[in-house]
């Protein structure tokens, strides 16, 4: 089983969606996590709404701290938020440089969501 960690500062939008897509596309072959250096404590309602459009319920997720993450990973992916990620053992590291969808309109948010979906698919194929 491959382990992936998606990291963003608040762990409320991009990293949560990436974790969700990894669960959707990776099934039981992937162990996916997301976390942030300064977690907001809640998932952004927009992320919940726009993931529901693709059939995933983000209500079951929680905004988590990097302090609660342990173990080694096959891949650690930052979302382009300039997060100061502590050292997490990983075979591979990527930064996706995604815009923060928090203040985007609905169409803009969907563009970021769909970009994340495509990137997760490619990441899983490459692992």
Answer whether 86's CB lies under 8 Å from 70's CB. no
Q: Spot the catalytic one: 4, 5, 7, 8.
A: 8
81 belongs to the catalytic site: yes
80 tagged catalytic: no
Among 1, 23, 3, which Cα is nearest to 77's? 3
pLDDT at 74 (0 to 100): 95
**Other CB atoms closer than 10 Å to residue 33's CB: what's the count?**
20
Structural contact between residues 14 and 45, judged by C-beta atoms closer than 8 angstroms: no
Residues in the chain: 127
Give the active site residue among 18, 47, 81, 112: 81
Determine which one of 85, 98, 123, 124 is catalytic: 85
- Whether 94 is catalytic is no
**Domains present along the chain, CATH in parentheses:** 2-126 (3.40.50.2300)
Q: How far apart are CA 12 and CA 74, in angstroms?
A: 23
The pLDDT value given to residue 49: 96
Q: Tens place of pLDDT for every residue, the chain, 127 residues?
A: 999 999 988 999 999 999 999 999 999 999 999 999 888 999 999 999 999 999 999 999 999 998 888 888 999 999 876 655 566 778 898 989 899 898 999 999 999 999 999 999 999 999 9
- Is residue 6 within 8 A of residue 77, CB to CB? The reply is yes
Residue partners of 29: CB distance under 8 A and separation at least 6: 1, 2
CA neighbours closer than 13 Å in the CB half-sphere of residue 52: 9
Q: What is the pTM of this model?
A: 0.93
């Amino acid at each position: 089983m491959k382990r992936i960690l998606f990291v963003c500062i608040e762990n409320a939008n991009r990293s949560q969606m990436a974790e969700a897509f990894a669960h959707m596309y990776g099934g039981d072959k992937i162990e996916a996590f997301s976390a942030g250096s300064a977690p907001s404590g809640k998932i952004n309602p927009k992320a919940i709404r726009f993931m529901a459009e693709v059939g995933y319920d983000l209500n079951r997720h929680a905004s988590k701290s990097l302090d609660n993450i342990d173990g080694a990973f096959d891949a650690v992916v930052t979302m382009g938020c300039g997060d100061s990620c502590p050292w997490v053992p990983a075979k591979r590291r990527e930064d996706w440089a995604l815009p923060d969808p928090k203040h985007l309109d609905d169409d803009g948010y969907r563009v970021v969501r769909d970009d994340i979906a495509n990137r997760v698919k490619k990441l899983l194929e490459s692992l």
